[in-house]
């Protein structure tokens, strides 16, 4: 009635526990014939390994570091809290995680941090930082030291990172574009705002957005990106100006952080009620804006999944286990007022 154990299959195959273990974990030093004997017993009894017990016996300790952007951005904040949540739950069993916050705008500080964590021995690192040559070098040094490296949210494809955990940002941009095109009815001008085009995710989103607009909505014209560079006043000034000047404006696409600022700027404008607004990331601000009909749709990624996925991937990397790609592929969520979680 109860599930078969290694003992059962040892008995069934007529071998010892150790041999069963060797076969199950594909360790060397077992005769071909014995291997098949064990595998047959496994198949016959329908044995499934008890991960709990295995991890217990293995006594493995994983030491990970998460490097996340410092600063007031709500998305980064939600990432940090998701990390805390994961840490308190089972997913982080046998795992110690240290969070390091870096000023996203200061490449030097980032590199210094990366070299700092390099000092003490650690097994893996997950990072969400902008792409610079110095960062790529720092990653290379971590890899040389045998540390598993995953990028988070925004990829660094030209670095030696092992894996990227995050959504396909071009696809996210395309989804935003598709909704925008349909919502505005296929014509007019779209304002695109972002905090900075230095981070790869923004660039990719813009690319995907433009692709869909050009192909499926040729009568819509997308204006050049406006970068806020963490300067609320600058953002407010430009948005106000564009709304006043471009009479054909029908929508605003906010590609990255700085939604709070954008919303603030929009509120001051009477015409803004008729604009279709699409933004990224579900935060307290965008959630409220959806409810208040100030934003029409949000393209989001589940930060809980993001963090758990990063932890799982780092572990697999450490153990040289295959990564279950299907499970780690993050979904691009489309959130309307009606399906707010």
Residues of this chain that bind DNA (CB under 7 A):
2-3, 5-7, 14-22, 24-25, 29-31, 33-34, 47-50, 53-54, 56-59
Report in angstroms how near the CB of residue 80 gets to a second copy at its nearest.
Answer: 17
72 binds, among DNA, a second copy, none (CB under 5 to 8 A by kind): none
177 binds, among DNA, a second copy, none (CB under 5 to 8 A by kind): a second copy
The smaller minimum CB distance to a second copy, of residues 34 and 178, is found at 178
Report in angstroms how near the CB of residue 148 gets to a second copy at its nearest.
Answer: 19
Report in angstroms how near the CB of residue 91 gets to a second copy at its nearest.
Answer: 10
Residues between 21 and 60 with contacts to a second copy, criterion CB under 8 A: 48, 50-53, 55-56
- Per CB under 8 A, which region of 8-16, 18-26, 174-182, 249-257 contacts a second copy? 174-182
The smaller minimum CB distance to a second copy, of residues 232 and 304, is found at 304
* Residues 242, 219: Cα–Cα separation, whole Å: 19
Structure tokens at 19: 């041999």
3-state secondary structure of 254: strand
The smaller minimum CB distance to a second copy, of residues 108 and 215, is found at 215
* Residues 66, 219: Cα–Cα separation, whole Å: 44
Could you identify the residue written with the tokens 């496994």? 42
Structure tokens at 340: 């707010």
The smaller minimum CB distance to a second copy, of residues 32 and 338, is found at 338
* Residues 256, 318: Cα–Cα separation, whole Å: 32
The alpha helices in the chain, defined as continuous H runs, are 6-13, 17-24, 32-45, 51-58, 74-88, 107-119, 133-144, 169-183, 200-216, 232-245, 259-267, 284-291, 303-319, 325-328
Structure tokens at 243: 């709304």
The smaller minimum CB distance to DNA, of residues 9 and 102, is found at 9
Report in angstroms how near the CB of residue 15 gets to DNA at its nearest.
Answer: 4
Query: Can you name the residues that pair with 279 across neighbouring β-strands?
Result: 254, 298
* Residues 133, 149: Cα–Cα separation, whole Å: 16
The smaller minimum CB distance to a second copy, of residues 44 and 331, is found at 331
Report in angstroms how near the CB of residue 93 gets to a second copy at its nearest.
Answer: 6
Structure tokens at 244: 């006043």
The smaller minimum CB distance to a second copy, of residues 26 and 48, is found at 48
Of the candidates 136, 198, 246, 337, which one interacts with a second copy according to CB under 8 A?
A: 337
Q: How many residues does the chain have?
A: 341
* Residues 340, 291: Cα–Cα separation, whole Å: 9
Tally of CB atoms within 10 A around 104: 23
* Residue 323 sits in the site that holds a second copy (CB under 8 A): no
Which residues of the chain form contacts with a second copy (CB under 8 A)? 2-3, 48, 50-53, 55-56, 61, 88, 90, 93-94, 96, 171-172, 174-175, 177-179, 182-183, 185, 208, 212, 299, 302, 329, 331-339, 341
């Amino acid at each position: 009635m109860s599930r078969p154990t290694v003992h059962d299959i040892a008995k069934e195959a007529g071998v010892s526990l150790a041999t069963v273990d060797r076969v199950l974990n594909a360790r060397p030093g077992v005769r071909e014939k014995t291997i098949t004997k064990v595998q047959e017993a496994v198949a016959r009894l329908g044995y499934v390994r008890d991960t709990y017990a295995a991890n217990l016996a293995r006594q493995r300790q994983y030491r990970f570091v998460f490097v996340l952007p410092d600063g007031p951005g709500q998305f980064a904040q939600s990432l940090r809290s998701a990390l805390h949540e994961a840490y308190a739950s089972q997913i982080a069993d046998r795992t110690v995680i240290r969070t390091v916050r870096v000023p996203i705008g200061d490449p030097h500080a980032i590199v210094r941090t990366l070299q700092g964590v390099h000092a003490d021995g650690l097994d893996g690192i997950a990072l969400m930082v902008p792409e610079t040559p110095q960062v790529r070098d720092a990653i290379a040094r971590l890899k040389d030291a045998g540390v598993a490296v995953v990028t988070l949210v925004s990829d660094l494809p030209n670095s030696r990172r092992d894996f990227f955990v995050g959504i396909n940002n071009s696809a996210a941009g395309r989804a935003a574009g598709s909704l925008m095109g349909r919502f505005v009815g296929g014509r007019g001008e779209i304002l695109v705002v972002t905090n900075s085009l230095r981070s790869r995710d923004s660039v990719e989103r813009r690319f995907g957005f433009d692709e869909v607009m050009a192909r499926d909505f040729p009568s819509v014209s997308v204006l050049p990106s406006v970068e806020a560079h963490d300067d609320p006043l600058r953002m407010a000034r430009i948005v106000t100006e564009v709304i006043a000047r471009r009479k054909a404006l029908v929508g605003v696409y906010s590609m990255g952080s700085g939604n709070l600022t954008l919303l603030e700027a929009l509120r001051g404008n009477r015409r803004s009620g008729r604009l279709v607004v699409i933004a990224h990331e579900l935060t307290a601000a965008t959630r409220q804006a959806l409810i208040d009909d100030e934003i029409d749709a949000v393209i989001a990624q589940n930060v809980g999944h993001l963090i758990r996925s990063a932890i799982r991937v780092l572990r697999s990397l450490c153990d040289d286990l295959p990564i279950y790609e299907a499970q780690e592929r993050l979904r691009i969520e489309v959130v309307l007022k009606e399906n707010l979680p």
